[in-house]
Amino acid sequence: MSNTIPPFIPDELLQRITQGAAQRDAKRDQPFGLIQEMKTSGFGRQRLTRAFGGEGITLADTFSAALVVAEADPNLAHIWRNHHVVLERLLNTPSQHPLVKKLRARVLAGDLIGQANTELNHSQIGGNTPFFSKLVRKGTEYVLNGKKFYSTGALYSDWIYAPVSLEDDSRVVVILPKDRKGLHTIDDWMGMGQRLTGSGTTIFDNVNVEPDDILFATDIPEQYGPFGSTIAQLYLTSIVAGIVSALARDAAELLGKRKRNFYYAPHPAGAQDPLLLAALGEQQADAFAVRAIVLAAASVADHAHAALIAEDAQAGQLLQAAAAAAAKAKITVDRIAQHTASSLFDIAGASATLAHHNLDRHWRNIRTLSSHNPASHKAYALGNLRVNGVSLPAQGFF
């Protein structure tokens, strides 16, 4: 895919990301150098609003950029996901909290923000249950102990955003430099897909936390939290859409090289077989459709964000509309993507299953990304809203 979103990312860098993607996945070769080049290119500051010194690109352009990177390598796009969530939840808000202002400056300087959120020993995913990771007061400062998982991007980041609990079980957010003593990111993510995202464990071992490192509930503008969660969901869907584009790209390349065909096929050359060409055309249509779906949902999110900034009385309704659009996009794009990943092998033939091609990574990555949140629960919530007027969930993951 051509690089059409200024300032975006240098074409030469995008080409290198694309060319090495299959090999990096096969060898589990973490892309530290490429992430550093993306930082230097200004990728992480594009969405920061112009009022705070960023490029101020729209959410539609942000997700289009994520899709382009995901087509090249979905691992690299995914590494930046939580950075963009923090942008919407904190940095693109009216907040003038000293920690927020400091982070804006660091993003402008090229820093990457990762997250350490989920705890595997929780019986419930999301919601407002207390965290086991505890922040305990010690004199004028605090000490943090705990363990997180699914820390996507943290391995490559400069800062860690982590929701934790105080001794009274109330929730706060700490944002710490990754080199803080006692903070450890471990590359123990062993998922079948998105292997290079560093989505493993973060450990807080007697980490000293200063009061200036903490955001209390009152420090985070109220409606921006749920909006950040919607952005998180749509960002995942944009990555899946990017993989569909990669599938269409790879299918075209493989079919163009396919000389052999079955003796009973309509044409002896695979590249001239009308059935295979039609299947390729379907993949091209799939890639077009999923991109259009993501951008349509992003446009709804742009309207919601504008209402938030303007403190519009309709902001709440627009936030629900954005969450609904993101859910609809996920349900549809996930379904299309899994079919497209399978049909690649119908087009390319049995030789495409050879391990050295590593084409199965597309399906593995799609299935891993789409498993973040179940489409069935999203569909139920949409139906319940439409028929019974029950509001969509607003405590994360929607």
pLDDT in tens, 128-185: 789 999 999 999 999 999 999 999 999 999 999 999 999 999 999 999 999 999 999 9
| Other CB atoms within 10 A of residue 11 CB | 10
Whether residues 229 and 377 share a domain: the answer is: yes
Q: What is the pLDDT of residues 65-107, one digit of tens each?
A: 999 999 999 999 999 999 999 999 999 999 999 999 999 999 9
CATH of the domain at 192: 2.40.110.10
Do residues 206 and 239 both lie within one domain? no
Same domain, 249 and 382: yes
**Averaged pLDDT for residues 21-25:** 98
| Claim to verify: residue 209 and residue 232 sit in the same structural domain | no
Residue 46 lies in a domain: yes
% pLDDT > 70, the chain:
98
Per-residue pLDDT of 216-263, as tens digits, reads 999 999 899 999 999 999 999 999 999 999 999 999 999 999 988 998
- Are residue 303 and residue 212 in the same domain, yes or no? no
Instruction: Kindly state whether residues 237 and 344 are assigned to the same domain.
Output: yes
Q: What was the pLDDT predicted at 204? A: 99
Q: Which residue, among 54, 25, 83, 7, has the nearest Cα to 243 in the 3D structure?
A: 25
CATH of the domain at 102: 1.10.540.10
Do 153 and 249 fall into the same domain? no
| Domain match, 247 and 316 both | yes
Residue 102 CB contacts under 8 Å (≥ 6 apart), including other chains: none
Which of these three, 111, 146, 165, is where a domain ends?
111
Spatial CA neighbour of 344 closest among 369, 368, 361, 367: 361
Global pTM?
0.96
117 within a domain of the structure (yes/no): no
Asked if the structure places residue 129 within a domain, the reply is no
pLDDT band at residue 6, thresholds of 50, 70 and 90? very low
Pair 259, 352 in one domain: yes
pLDDT for 46: 96
* Last residue in a domain, options 219, 240, 265: 219
Q: Are residues 26 and 75 in the same domain?
A: yes
Residue 298, exposed/middle/buried by CB under 10 A (0-12, 13-18, 19+)?
buried
Asked if pLDDT for residue 5 goes beyond 70, the answer is no
Residue 128 lies in a domain: no
Separation CA 264–CA 244 (nearest Å): 30
Specify the number of domains making up the chain: 3
The domain of 204 spans 134-219
As a whole number of angstroms, the distance between CA 69 and CA 66 comes to 5
pLDDT tier at 2 (50, 70, 90 boundaries)? very low
For residue 263, the domain's CATH number is 1.20.140.10
Vertex 137, ends 133 and 138: CA angle to 5°? 120
- Whether residues 279 and 384 share a domain: the answer is yes
Q: Would you give the DSSP letter of residue 352?
A: G
Q: Let me know if residue 308 belongs to a domain.
A: yes
Give the 3-state secondary structure of residue 209.
strand
Q: Which of 192, 125, 112 is nearest to 153 (CA)?
A: 112
Please check the confidence at residue 382 and state whether its pLDDT lies above 50. Answer: yes
Of 219, 245, 274, the residue that ends a domain is: 219
199 within 8 A of 118, measured Cβ to Cβ: no
Residue 334 included in any domain: yes
5 falls within a domain: no
